[in-house]
Structure 1
Amino acid sequence: GVVELDDSYTYDPVGNRRTKAALGGNASYIYDANDRLLSDGKYTYGWDAAGNLTSRSGPEGQTTYRYDAENRLVETSGPGGVVQYAYDAEGNRISRTTAAGTTVFVVDPNMPYAQVLEEHGPAGAKLYAYGNDMLNIQGPDGTHWFDYDGLGSVRALTDASGTLTDTYIYEAFGSVAHRTGTTANDFRFTGEQYDEALEMYYLRARYYEPGTGRFGQQDRRSGNPANPVTFNKYIYTNANPINNTDPSGLFSIPEITTSLGIQGFIRSIPGLTAKALGVGVVSGVFSTIYSIITDIEANRDITAKSVANAAISGFCFGFLSTFFTQYRWARIIIGTVVSGASLVDFVSSIKAGLTIRASLDLLIFMFSLRYLRADLRSLRYQPIDTSNFKGGTPTKNGGIRERIQFWKEWQTRYPETLSEANKAIIKGDRAPRIDATWCKYFPDQAPYMGEKLIHHHINYGAKAIPLPEPFHRYQPGRGILHP
């Protein structure tokens, strides 16, 4: 039959849902001063000082939630029983234990976002095959293929013969409004894994509750002053689930990138960072505009062909920039060449009376010089060689994982990067945190102010560098750090 959905929502200025009007009933929501949900009309919620959901009380009784020192959910207890979760050193969920037994997840951390390859539990084993997205599931019910919509949500399953076996219809924020079929499948809204015991989706960094459109833990990332909604620590995709997804549990991704196939392109390029891609796109657009303005000021005829040529040259320049700006040595070479060439072009443009082009040349010179200085300054801070560390765990390619020795060696070599507070932390055999002193030498890490620093072994080798822990754990393109 036909499934009718007619839901509408109202929000406060920072994205908290105030009301929901639906065919199945209406709801009103109450929050505290820190945007934590206190009541939705059916349930009341409790929170700890760190902003983690600790309880949900309603008609069925009370469910409580417990977290470890890293604020990862490790146990929930309620009317349905006790469920426990375990994670690996990278923060990936690797098991779930219920009264029926333990389900073990075999996870591949080298995909753009860590993905489950296999599940082994009381009901049997499930194996998952991937292309750019999950292709099929092989389990006790046989092999079934996934059919997705434009948002990446699983809309249907078909068996090996092509017969439709299961269908899914979702509300805007991901609750399943209607389902047909009985295939054991947890991957649903935006292709993510649903946890029946929690009634939440596992989005890696945090768990997401689609009924309220909110996370059960705070977002670690800072907001954008130009967009106040981003300061809300709990809402899903800035309350815009139609156009955005959040596979990391940390920040939303406009789904236009999926529609254009850009995500698949990014995934296919080893070592491609989001920052490098951004540099490439901006470089390409700027190069195109620069070429067109040059033609206009030189009184050349502007034709469709000349615009197309400018766009092609801009694309090529941006495409090359995408790759080469990932590497410090390449950035230094490019920065030196571009800064010198742009200064020469500036003088030539002034002599030729091309004032707009001269302004662009000067802009290029200033930016290239700024980033060249930043890269030259960062050359001083070389990776730490861990091959001679005592104790610890060996890496695949000759390194030794030993946090205490790494930070003591870093302090010996580069004491100016550490505040007195961080030196005291290292003395206590703990990892330092990103503070104002650290950001003075590593300004690109300022968005992670207050977060813990970890040491990352480059290509699992002996050389290790300091990185913000959230970036290391959840950044898009996990394969960039762990190829």
Structure 2
Amino acid sequence: VQGLDLPDTSRCDRDAALSSTRRVAYAHDARNRLVQTTYPDGLGNLQVQYTADGKLKSETALNQNGVAVITGLSYNSLGLVVGHSRIVGTASPRTSTFAYNSLGQQVLTRYPDGYEVQQTLNALGQALKLQDSQGAVLVSEVSYAPSGQASGMTYGNGVVRRVRENARQLVSAVLDLNVVNLNYSYDSAGNIVTIQDGLRGDVGTVSLGYDRLDRLARASSPSFGGNGQYVFAYDTLDNIISMRLPGKRERTYHYDDRNRLQLLRDNDGNGVFAIAYDAAGNMTTRNGEMFEFDVGGRLRAGGLVSGYLYDGGGNRAAAEGGLYRTWNYLADGRLIESTRGADVSDYIYLGSRLLSIRTSTPAGVKMVYQHYDAHSTLAATSDASGKVLSRHIWSPYGEPDIAPEASTPGYSGHLTDPDTGLVYMGQRYYDPTLGMFLSTDPVTAHENPLGAFNRYRYANNNPYRFFDPDGQRSIVKGEEILIQPEDKSVPSLPPIPNTVGAKGVSATDTSFHTYDVRTSSNLTPSQAATGFRNNPTPGDDQPASPNGTKNDVGNIPLMPGPNYVRSFLVASPDPSKFTDITVNYTISGKHKLTEGFVMRYGEIRSNGTTVLRSYGEGNNLRQNPVLQSIPWIGWGGQVESVWQQNHQEIINGAR
């Protein structure tokens, strides 16, 4: 990537960019939509097709040996996704289909192997019950806390789950009858200080301490082994410099002048770990183990795996070498199916939370229920009768005492590769033995906090409070975004799933801005809500969904696309005043602007018509009112005109 020669505002170093051996080329059509991406090594080359009305139709990504991974989408007359297909190489398509009620809410999922799950919803569109097409109940009696989180349910195997929150809406207890019993306490900063295990007593209880920068400094539990006392130390650049568990493991970390881990000294018998990197900063050698990355930063080989394949969205799709495996991700980021040899696993969700895994093998079918702690880390599994199959203990940075099955998400809800021990977190791979990522953070470095300059650290060095949803940026656990607008005439929202790597928008930051665009209309509330749902952004997009549909906003002044957001559909908090609300939230690392959101809805007037409203907040200097008058920095009146034009499209579309 070549930047401007500051303070020059018009000349780019184009010659240097064109001659670069790592140059990535993007092609757009006449409507400014991305249609092709070309990498110099050919790995990840992408072709994109759209439907006649501008929705994503297919993505074809090329991998090693010319193997293509093709993702296809189909829609109903309302623009809702009714089909998702995946083809890896010459294999047969794996197609998932979806059905909706008259309100456009999803009520049925049909998996590629034909298994069907139906859900019963409440008036807010929240799931109350899930059952399959044979009538087997998977979960029932689901209740919700004021925060919007599921606070109670009964699994299909009879295990009753209760989740309690304190006054700060932090999880205070996770109680799965006779399976999990965890109680949490916090300090004034929101750091967890104790996790009490009501089933295993002192053996499973964890006590935690922090330094003045809220980095994990101490963790103690008999379950860790050794003397049970982990001690961590960090340097001023947030690098771990020592990780000590006397009697079991004591490690010291040594870094090069580029702030990359170079040497790991370990006294547990492994001697010295030597680390090496490629030109882009990807770790290519770890204690003699080799890793290969492509120009796009995707891990292509490691351990026994001779080739990882990826789809057009960057999701891992298959692993070649050893036992052949595949993974099938939906547009909202959820894993719906995986295969391992002849075994096929279906992933069943309650909202955005994994509930159970149904695996078909040559020997038969088994249903395994997943029991997670407050941090979405696997704590236990149980079978169809409620019998506990496994319990799991994790070190502070994610090393398991007993690794879960390869098809089961474990630490922070992510899959672990049995071949390498690495945790696959979407954009990057994480090494729990080192407590850091193998590659640099794709999110731009920034100074607040200073530790964000560290390109490899995990979860702000506070892994009990933060986690990384997709390998890009850590978020405060709760795994949801809570939107409480600065303008009090705009409704606050129940939590939405944090599948965008959100950190939070700060109203006290000098870059904070708001915008508020309104258009009077004669649309009914239903017409307005449908219009915003089906046309959530100014770009060519897909309809908003409860779990967040990935959309490309397109070109932004001075910032050509792609610019990705997730479009969430949120039930109205007050149907007498507002329609259902569509929320577009920037995807961290995949949008040229920094974090922000726009809420789009209709304000209901006394005569039954609506005022269309698009209200946004964010932290970006280009959109700050102080800079709006500077043409090459600010947007000026373009924000107003873009949303007004989109409002008019919605009005015209309803006629």
Query: TM-score normalised by the shorter chain: which range applies?
Result: 0.5 to 0.7
The Cα offsets for residues 207-264 of structure 1, whole Å up to 9 and x where unpaired, read as 0111111001101223342321111000001111010010111110111x34xxxx2x
Partner of 2:279: 49
In structure 2, give the amino acid aligned to 1:153: T
The Cα offsets for residues 398-453 of structure 1, whole Å up to 9 and x where unpaired, read as xxxxx9xx99xx8xxx9xx5xxxxxxxxxxxxxxxxxxxx26xxxxxxxxxxxx84
- The answer on whether the counterparts of 2:243 and 2:252 sit within 8 Å (CA) in structure 1 is yes
Runs of 4+, deviation exceeding 6 Å: 320-323, 455-459
Which structure has more strand as a fraction of its residues? 2
Distance in 2 between residues matched to 1:319 and 1:234, nearest whole Å: 35
Going from structure 1 to structure 2, the CA distance change for 1:183 and 1:24 (only over 3 Å counts) comes to same
- The answer on whether the counterparts of 1:126 and 1:137 sit within 8 Å (CA) in structure 2 is yes
Going from structure 1 to structure 2, the CA distance change for 1:82 and 1:384 (only over 3 Å counts) comes to closer
In structure 1, give the amino acid aligned to 2:455: K
Distance in 1 between residues matched to 2:463 and 2:378, nearest whole Å: 15
Q: What pairs up with 1:22-421 in 2 under 5 angstroms?
A: 22=245, 23-41=247-265, 42-57=272-287, 62-76=288-302, 78=303, 81-100=304-323, 102-110=324-332, 114-131=333-350, 132-139=352-359, 140=361, 142-178=366-402, 185-255=407-477, 257-258=478-479, 263=480, 278=483, 280-284=484-488, 317-319=490-492, 371=515
Partner of 1:12: 235
- The answer on whether the counterparts of 2:566 and 2:587 sit within 8 Å (CA) in structure 1 is no
Distance in 2 between residues matched to 1:217 and 1:455, nearest whole Å: 22
SS of equivalent residue, structure 2 residue 336: strand
Q: What pairs up with 1:425-436 in 2 under 5 angstroms?
A: none
- The answer on whether the counterparts of 2:275 and 2:284 sit within 8 Å (CA) in structure 1 is yes
Q: CA deviation at 1:476?
A: 10
Partner of 2:79: none
Distance in 1 between residues matched to 2:448 and 2:341, nearest whole Å: 49
Q: CA deviation at 1:84?
A: 1.5
Distance in 1 between residues matched to 2:448 and 2:565, nearest whole Å: 36
The Cα offsets for residues 11-42 of structure 1, whole Å up to 9 and x where unpaired, read as 10121111111131211001112221111123
Distance in 1 between residues matched to 2:344 and 2:325, nearest whole Å: 9
Bigger shift: residues 133-142 or 198-207: 133-142
Distance in 1 between residues matched to 2:564 and 2:409, nearest whole Å: 31
- The answer on whether the counterparts of 2:562 and 2:590 sit within 8 Å (CA) in structure 1 is no
The Cα offsets for residues 376-395 of structure 1, whole Å up to 9 and x where unpaired, read as xxxxxx96789xxxxxxxx9
Partner of 2:95: none
Q: CA deviation at 1:319?
A: 2.2
Query: Matched residue pairs, number?
Result: 307
The Cα offsets for residues 139-170 of structure 1, whole Å up to 9 and x where unpaired, read as 24711101111111110000010000111000
> TM-score when scaled to structure 2?
0.42
Distance in 2 between residues matched to 1:174 and 1:457, nearest whole Å: 30
Q: CA deviation at 1:321?
A: 12
Q: CA deviation at 1:6?
A: 2.2
Greater RCO between the two (CA within 8 Å, min separation 6)?
1
Partner of 1:356: none
- The answer on whether the counterparts of 1:248 and 1:476 sit within 8 Å (CA) in structure 2 is no
Distance in 2 between residues matched to 1:187 and 1:458, nearest whole Å: 23
Percent of counterpart pairs with the same letter? 24
Distance in 2 between residues matched to 1:153 and 1:250, nearest whole Å: 18
Distance in 1 between residues matched to 2:316 and 2:494, nearest whole Å: 36
In structure 1, give the amino acid aligned to 2:330: D
Distance in 2 between residues matched to 1:247 and 1:384, nearest whole Å: 26
Q: CA deviation at 1:457?
A: 11
Distance in 1 between residues matched to 2:295 and 2:398, nearest whole Å: 29
SS of equivalent residue, structure 1 residue 229: helix
- What root-mean-square deviation, in Å, do the aligned CA atoms of Structure 1 and Structure 2 show? 4.2
- The answer on whether the counterparts of 1:454 and 1:469 sit within 8 Å (CA) in structure 2 is no
Partner of 1:426: none
Distance in 2 between residues matched to 1:97 and 1:476, nearest whole Å: 37
Which structure has more helix as a fraction of its residues? 1
Distance in 1 between residues matched to 2:384 and 2:250, nearest whole Å: 42
- The answer on whether the counterparts of 1:136 and 1:143 sit within 8 Å (CA) in structure 2 is yes
- The answer on whether the counterparts of 2:254 and 2:262 sit within 8 Å (CA) in structure 1 is yes
SS of equivalent residue, structure 1 residue 230: helix
SS of equivalent residue, structure 1 residue 282: coil
Partner of 2:562: 454
- The answer on whether the counterparts of 1:453 and 1:468 sit within 8 Å (CA) in structure 2 is no
